[in-house]
Amino acid sequence: MDAQAGIPAVAAESASPLRLRRVAIDTWRENVVYLHRDCAIYRAEGFQALSKVEVRANGRRILASLNVVDDGCIVQPDELGVSIDAFIQLGVDDGHPAMIAQAEPPSSIPALRRKIAGERLARDDFRAIVRDIAEHRYSKIELTAFVVATNQGELDREEVYFLTEAMTSVGHRIDWRERPVVDKHCIGGIPGNRTSMLVVPIVAAHGMLCPKTSSRAITSPAGTADTMEVLANVEPSFDRLSEIVREHRGCLAWGGTANLSPADDVLISVERPLSIDSPGQMVASILSKKVAAGSTHLVLDIPVGPSAKVRSMPEAQKLRKLFEFVAGRMNLTIDVVITDGRQPIGSGIGPVLEARDVMRVLENDPRAPNDLRQKALRLAGRMLEFDPDVRGGDGFAIARDILDSGRALAKMDAIIRAQGAHAFDHNAPPLARLNFEVCAEGDGVVVAIDNHQLARIARLAGAPKMQASGVDLLRKLGEPVEKGEPLYRIHADYPADLEFARQASARASGYALGVADEVPHLFVEF
């Protein structure tokens, strides 16, 4: 849906002309405009800081939050400053005339207030709220109120379905005109878990349609899109992306390219800083994007472990039932798999290190991390069994043959070239210039690895913004280690980043040593 769609016109007499000025401030998916305090329009219209305004230019409209400034270096009294994202949406040049007016208040606020009070909302309530969110009518305060209200008063399963349906309806929805259209998703929380970059070429090489759109990292050291960007362009136009998918049966692109769930993109901007990821919000976020992307069949990975998002099997089973209920209502076939989330997957944490691991698996390199290879094969096998011509239980062997034969590598190379290849040699990956090894403080066996702490250290080192930064794991669960031997290596491009990561590792390495019997055992479905 276009950014300006669904926004009602405001009376012309309430708007006034100003010259647009691009303000080079990244406001993270929030439209922000700037008026000088001495602007005649600011005084005449009675605008207030942080209020919502409507901006019109060249036939386009956006809603934005207003900031008031006193510095003429930012914006002059006869100018309207516009943040980067908002300026792109308007699609005009600096100096273009624009009109600004008070925005109409969100019509869904009464429903929001009822949710804050703990009431159960109906389908039309969620549609109204999500529409206002997607049209940027909600302030950050109102967005936060909605996220907190739906987290504290946990949504029932019908409400989760209503929210998912509403989020699907406000964005672009793709129809590939064939079945099955397959996808795979992990609920997150496990560093290095780049199975999607292996599953897609395996499944596409088999001939199944797998248009994979993925997220960038927000609070993690790398998302699938960040890691794929080491190898190729992840932001082709939607038309070009469609061509790639139809020609090569798959892609690995950033999800923002297709504008699949704009309301979710807005909600994430407050969910992640608050560390709120309630089951209902998680289900709605994931499934709305999959349905909008045209997927008919989904393999969902729920890792379980002491430092994973889901920490127990009963919790995982409950979440699985919620996913299955909502997916069924959305006519999406889903296979939920509970996997081992006790430690990071693979060796690398950070875009370049994770890309190295992926390419080594695809090339059947003996240095490839076996846990990443095995998990990818099992997930790909479950996806292949969506093919009506594949007998249940045969998927793993077919996936292994596609990988071992080199067909998966050939397919990945074709996708990379089609999206726009970036130079990368997994034998000599361009790692950050500085490094530091974290060593064992005594003898023992690795009995625990803290996913959160390792991810935090990798981010402090500069990942994902600095692609070559991150953490390279040298020991995994159950492996013996002697005092002074390295547990992992931190890579950073800047001395300050390396020092931040070093200090964090000194406070808590993320590793616990003990005896072999102390390694936690976990039942998983593979």
What is the pLDDT at residue 4? 42
What is the pLDDT at residue 30? 82
- Give tens-digit pLDDT for 362-372: 999 999 999 99
Between the two ends of the chain, the Cα-to-Cα distance in Å is: 40
Average pLDDT over residues 438-446: 98
- Give tens-digit pLDDT for 296-349: 999 999 999 999 999 999 999 999 999 999 999 999 999 999 999 999 999 999
What the block records as the tokens of 450 is 């803290």
Residue 215 Rama label (left phi>0; alpha psi -120 to 50; beta): beta
- Give tens-digit pLDDT for 182-194: 999 999 999 999 9
Rounded Cα distance between 345 and 324, Å, is: 26
- Is pLDDT at 223 greater than 90 in this prediction? yes
Average pLDDT over residues 437-444: 98
Amino acid at 141: I
Q: Which domains does the chain have, with CATH numbers?
A: 14-102 (2.40.40.20), 182-419 (3.40.1030.10), 434-518 (3.90.1170.30)
Three-state SS annotation for 390-450: CCCCCHHHHHHHHHHCCHHHHHHHHHHHHHCECCCCCCCCCCCCEEEEEECCCCEEEEEEC
Mean pLDDT rounded to a whole number for the chain: 92
| Three-state SS at 466 | coil
* Residue whose C-alpha is closest to residue 423's, from 463, 467, 462: 467
User: How much of the chain, in percent, has pLDDT values that exceed 70?
Assistant: 96
- DSSP state letter for 421: B
Task: Report the residue count for the chain.
Answer: 526
Amino acid at 259: N
Residues belonging to the active site: 277
- Is pLDDT at 200 greater than 90 in this prediction? yes
- Give tens-digit pLDDT for 224-267: 999 999 999 999 998 999 999 999 999 999 987 777 788 888 88
What is the pLDDT at residue 6? 43
- Give tens-digit pLDDT for 107-129: 999 999 999 999 999 999 999 99
* Residue whose C-alpha is closest to residue 147's, from 50, 32, 277: 277
Rounded Cα distance between 65 and 92, Å, is: 19
What the block records as the tokens of 109 is 């606020």
Average pLDDT over residues 459-477: 97
- Give tens-digit pLDDT for 74-106: 999 999 999 998 999 899 999 999 999 999 889
Other Cβ atoms within 10 Å of 141 Cβ, number: 9
- Residue 49's contacts (CB-CB under 8 Å, 6 or more residues apart) are 66, 67, 68
pLDDT band at 14 (very low <50, low <70, confident <90, very high): very low
Average pLDDT over residues 212-226: 88
CB 211 within 8 A of CB 251: yes
* Residue whose C-alpha is closest to residue 469's, from 441, 500, 439: 500
Where helices occur in 237-362 by DSSP H, the ranges are: 238-248, 262-274, 279-292, 313-329, 351-362
What is the pLDDT at residue 29? 73
Residue with the bigger pLDDT between 439 and 7: it is: 439
pTM of the model: 0.89
What is the pLDDT at residue 525? 67
pLDDT band at 283 (very low <50, low <70, confident <90, very high): very high
Q: What phi and psi values does residue 512 have, to the nearest 5 degrees?
A: -125, 135
Average pLDDT over residues 482-495: 98
- Is pLDDT at 436 greater than 80 in this prediction? yes
- Is pLDDT at 451 greater than 90 in this prediction? yes
* Residue whose C-alpha is closest to residue 142's, from 118, 107, 175, 173: 107
Rounded Cα distance between 422 and 98, Å, is: 39
- Is pLDDT at 56 greater than 90 in this prediction? yes
- Give tens-digit pLDDT for 369-412: 999 999 999 999 999 999 999 999 999 999 999 999 999 999 99
* Residue whose C-alpha is closest to residue 143's, from 321, 268, 306: 268
| Three-state SS at 251 | strand
- Is pLDDT at 449 greater than 90 in this prediction? yes
Burial class (CB in 10 A: 0-12, 13-18, 19+), 52: buried
